[in-house]
Amino acid sequence: MAIGAVLIVFGLAVGYAIGVFLYRTRTIDRVYASVDEMEDDSRARHVKRFLPKTATNIHFISEARFGEHTDRFSCQVTEADFVCFAKERSYTIATNSFTALDFAPCDQEDSGYVHWRNAQMESNDEMQRRHVFGDASAPRRFFSITESHAFDGSAVGGNYLGIIVFDRDAGMLTGYDWGNCL
């Protein structure tokens, strides 16, 4: 009887853990009216660092797997609010281009890794455009802000990449945020 009770408790604990994992890694596709509305959603809350307080109609898509997340978002904001926001946060703004990613040096860099990293750095603008816009082209006139750390494209702990692009003609802010906490 005691063994049966232990097995039932163990089964419930495993079921609970699986349920929590599935809930935490679900895909979220939601529209928020304002930045303040995002406060209640733990997965959306961390992208607020990329959004001016005046952003509206925020479309947020988040995909999570064990140890990493990919978030995409778009919203309406004025150019003046975007520039003020970037200045307040001391973000470096690039005009009609992207800021270079922080590619991590490797302790034991062999020639293959150096070749790979150089190729990645040469295609940096294209890679960032693809992250934010997929197959679509970048806007004709835009500002961008890029935050990255040790972005070597692998599953090495503590990597992150955040890119936001403000379309100056449409007043649309579009972003990509990826993080790996393994």
Please give the mean pLDDT across all residues of the chain: 80
Q: 82 pLDDT exceeds 80? A: yes
**Nearest-angstrom CA–CA distance, 61 and 28:** 5
CB 34 within 8 A of CB 56: yes
Q: How confident is the model at residue 104 (pLDDT cuts 50, 70, 90)?
A: low
List the domain range (segments joined by +) for residue 139.
2-180
Per-residue pLDDT, 74: 95
The torsion of the CA quartet 75, 81, 86, 88, rounded to 10 degrees, works out to: -130
Q: What is the pLDDT of residue 134?
A: 85
* Per-residue pLDDT tens over the stretch 31-77: 999 998 887 777 787 788 899 999 999 999 988 777 677 899 999 99
Q: What is the pLDDT of residues 8-38, one digit of tens each?
A: 877 777 776 665 555 556 678 899 999 988 8
Whether the CB-CB separation of 27 and 70 falls below 8 Å is answered with no
- Other CB atoms closer than 10 Å to residue 135's CB: what's the count? 6
**Which strand (E) or helix (H) includes residue 146?**
strand 142-149
126-159 tens-digit pLDDT:
888 888 888 888 899 999 998 876 555 454 555 6
Q: What is the domain count for the chain? A: 1
What is the C-alpha separation between 96 and 99, in angstroms, rounded?
A: 10
